[in-house]
Structure 1
């Protein structure tokens, strides 16, 4: 099982093997819905700021041969790392279920982005 830690209320500590995918809050709820219908929905954090964004925590997996390019407003960080975030709150608190793979999160993003265009 992978670990992460909210350090105070302004940083996220990611262990090796954990990925944080940042999605704008305006359409992150749809990504969450897509993930829930496809399998496990891992922890999600909301990051306050000028633009609220959600961090989807996922399990690392090697990049596929045909790499999916993330939209310009989506960012991805691999652990181990300390992510300076500003104020955080749980949208989906950590549970006992497995983390989705980062590929599943990318697939949900791709599905939602297609419906928005």
Structure 2
């Protein structure tokens, strides 16, 4: 099993870089994972990441991109609940990439 080093602590990740134990997640770990992908997390990124974490707590599932887009639109408004906005923030796939930085499992159906 692979690991990343954050704040002097070794954190286990799977072969795709997702946290093995999601209870270990902190915003610093999310930011470090983003850095490894040459991405700097902004407040806009964190808004989506925090939304995903709340969604996961409620439904116990990481949403696929279509569900994510619709749910964000309901909660954060149409300007943020669209694929264009989400792909600008997370170009490698809003559901897949945002879930990774949020310390959540890879959404079902993501390649």
Is TM-score (shorter-chain normalized) higher than 0.5? no
Relative contact order, CA 8 A, sep 6+: which one is greater?
A: 1
TM normalised by structure 2 equals 0.30
